[in-house]
């Protein structure tokens, strides 16, 4: 696979802040790349530098092996988390307007069908529901059949049903061998859609790889979840966290952990067993876990 975008020693400084601190990564063509991180980690600044909306303080961004220039906007489709559109323009008017900015065009009827816009095509864009609006914004990002698509928290604020519809739409775009760069706070979304993720914190890249590889690298254990009251005075040997009324026990040896619980006469009626998720990885890496760690 060849890298469509390469970021080398990218840095962005403001007078009192280093927003991005010399990061490197490459994105392969046709890949869905997830850039994750807590608020203020520098991911939006990184994305906006790649999009050409902000100038880096130093470093280099290559597109297809050559330094990026203003022509990149012709092949990039961008959906911001929230974008105001012109008042009193219908969905159809907005599509026409944004199509006019490009020389290359996607088939409009296919786009309307793919983004499911046909039922409100003549409706004022300012009166759309959250899901409809996000689908329109995605369609505006796709009007010119871009090679690279940036999706900035595209499902924030959507209800679960609308979010799943949106995921299906993104998977359809992925199937067309488009390169997608996604930022999201929903780890479930990143796990489902992304082929590769990178996690940023304090302007630096702190992890990068496929979701499963990263989970295997950082954990390799499972979690037993029990009501704290059911444990009584029992202190598990394994690492465990009290999370209010529940306690989570982290173990690489499930048999031994279960045996310890059974031998101590713990009631396992409400026992839940789950694998590690990207949420766990995110919290682990970004030091956002504020829960009380009682034993390592």
Partner 1 sequence: MFSRIRTLIHARNLEFFRDRASLGWSVAMPFFLVFALALAFYGDNKPLFKVAVYQPSAEMTAKLNPIFGLEHVHFYTTDNLQRAIDKVARHQTDLLINLNPSTASAEQGYWVNIDSPNGYFMEKLLKQVDPNLKRHDTENHPIRYIDWVIPGVIGMNIMFGALFGVGFVIVRYRKSGYLKRLNATPLRPVEFILAQLVSRLFIVVFLAVVIFMISKWILGFAMNGSYWLLLLVTILGSLSMIAMSLMVTARVSSEELAGGLLNMVSWPMMLLSGVWFSLEGAYPPLKYLAQLFPLTHMLDAVRAITIDGAGLADLTQPILVLSLMTLVFIVIGAYAFKWSDD
Binding stretches for partner 1 (CB under 8 A): 48, 51, 53-54, 70-71, 73-74, 76, 78, 80, 82-86, 98, 101-102
For the CB of residue 83, give the shortest distance to partner 1 in the complex, in Å: 4
For the CB of residue 53, give the shortest distance to partner 1 in the complex, in Å: 6
Its sign, for the CA torsion 212, 218, 222, 224, is negative
How many whole angstroms separate alpha carbon 14 and alpha carbon 216?
37
Cβ pair 210, 259 in contact under 8 A: no
For the CB of residue 164, give the shortest distance to partner 1 in the complex, in Å: 26
For the CB of residue 152, give the shortest distance to partner 1 in the complex, in Å: 10
Pick from 87, 167, 69, 168: nearest CA to 124: 87
Burial code (b: 16+ CB inside 10 Å, e: under 16) for 230-249 equals: bbeeeebebebbeeeeebbb
Residue with smaller CB distance to partner 1, 87 or 263: 87
How many whole angstroms separate alpha carbon 269 and alpha carbon 253?
20
Residue with smaller CB distance to partner 1, 203 or 211: 203
Task: Give the C-alpha distances (Å, rounded to integers) separating 122 from 91, 96, 97, 99, 216.
Answer: 6, 12, 14, 17, 49
For the CB of residue 101, give the shortest distance to partner 1 in the complex, in Å: 4
For the CB of residue 19, give the shortest distance to partner 1 in the complex, in Å: 11
Residue with smaller CB distance to partner 1, 70 or 109: 70
Residue 295 β-bridge partners: 240
Please report where in the chains the tokens 């995110």 appear, as a residue.
282
Residue with smaller CB distance to partner 1, 85 or 223: 85
Residue with smaller CB distance to partner 1, 12 or 276: 12
Please report where in the chains the tokens 């409400």 appear, as a residue.
270
Residue with smaller CB distance to partner 1, 6 or 48: 48
């Amino acid at each position: 696979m060849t890298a469509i975008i390469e970021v080398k020693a990218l840095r962005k400084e403001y007078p009192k802040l280093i927003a991005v601190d010399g990061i490197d990564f490459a994105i392969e063509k046709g890949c869905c790349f997830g850039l994750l991180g807590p608020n203020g980690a520098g991911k939006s600044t990184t994305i906006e530098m790649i999009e050409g909306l902000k100038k880096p303080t130093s470093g280099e961004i290559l597109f297809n092996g050559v330094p990026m220039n203003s022509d990149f906007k012709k092949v990039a489709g961008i959906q911001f988390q929230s974008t105001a559109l012109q008042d009193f323009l219908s969905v159809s008017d907005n599509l026409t307007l944004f199509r006019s900015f490009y020389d290359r065009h996607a088939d409009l009827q296919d786009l309307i069908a793919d983004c499911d816009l046909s039922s409100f095509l003549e409706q004022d864009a300012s009166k759309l529901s959250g899901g409809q609006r996000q689908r329109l914004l995605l369609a505006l990002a796709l009007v010119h059949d871009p090679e690279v698509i940036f999706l900035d928290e595209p499902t924030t604020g959507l209800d679960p049903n609308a979010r799943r519809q949106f995921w299906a739409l993104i998977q359809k775009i992925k199937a067309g061998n488009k390169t997608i760069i996604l930022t999201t706070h929903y780890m479930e979304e990143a796990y489902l859609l992304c082929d590769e993720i990178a996690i940023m914190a304090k302007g630096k890249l702190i992890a990068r790889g496929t979701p499963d590889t990263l989970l295997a690298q950082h954990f390799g254990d499972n979690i037993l979840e029990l009501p704290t009251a059911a444990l009584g005075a029992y202190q598990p040997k394994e690492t465990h966290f009290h999370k209010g009324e529940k306690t989570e026990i982290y173990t690489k040896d499930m048999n031994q952990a279960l045996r310890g619980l059974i031998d101590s006469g713990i009631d396992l009626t409400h026992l839940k067993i789950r694998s590690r998720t990207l949420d766990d990885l995110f919290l682990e890496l970004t030091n956002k876990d504020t829960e009380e760690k009682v034993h390592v």
